[in-house]
Amino acid sequence: MQLGSANKFETVQKQRSGSADLHFKLEVTVRRSKDGRPDFFGPYAQGPGSERFIYLRIGQAAGQLDSEWSRRLKIPLRDISWDVINEVMSTYNRILEAIVPGTGRDGGPNCATVKPFAGWHAADI
């Protein structure tokens, strides 16, 4: 996962894929934007306010120099509603969760903006 942006970032929570799912945990801060929508920020949030996302770095981009892949997977934050945020914030044992496919159409690691993407939802810890 990419922590920081531009030339000032590090890859954290490094994991190798296999037959099991990969899990990443991070914290972002949310505030109300001028248009009333959620605006996420912090060292994991990338991009402009209305189009923020999280980057997962893959293969060489994640420091795995012997990999044939060098990719990043972009997981959008833009469609998270205040209803879901309030549900998570009002309950101690809830988190925001997104499940994304790890394999792309070419059979390699998924990259670019994740598709298909079912979005974020409240989940139990």
* Contact of 28 with 40, CB cutoff 8 Å: yes
State the DSSP code for 22.
P
- SS3 state at 83: helix
Burial of 27 from C-beta contacts in 10 A (0-12 / 13-18 / 19+) = exposed
Structural domain boundaries enclosing 59: 2-124
| Residue 112 falls in which region: left (phi positive, over 0), alpha (psi -120 to 50) or beta | left
Contacts of 32 (CB under 8 A, 6+ apart): 38, 39
Q: What is the number of structural domains in the chain?
A: 1
Task: State the Cα torsion 106-20-55-50 to the nearest 10°.
Answer: 100
- Report the C-alpha gap between 28 and 52 in whole angstroms: 11
Segment 57-84, tens digit of pLDDT = 999 999 999 999 999 999 999 999 999 9
pLDDT at 6 over 90: no
Q: What is the pLDDT of residue 41?
A: 94
Run of H or E residues at 82: helix 82-89
Say which range, 33-37, 47-51, 65-69, has the weakest mean pLDDT: 47-51
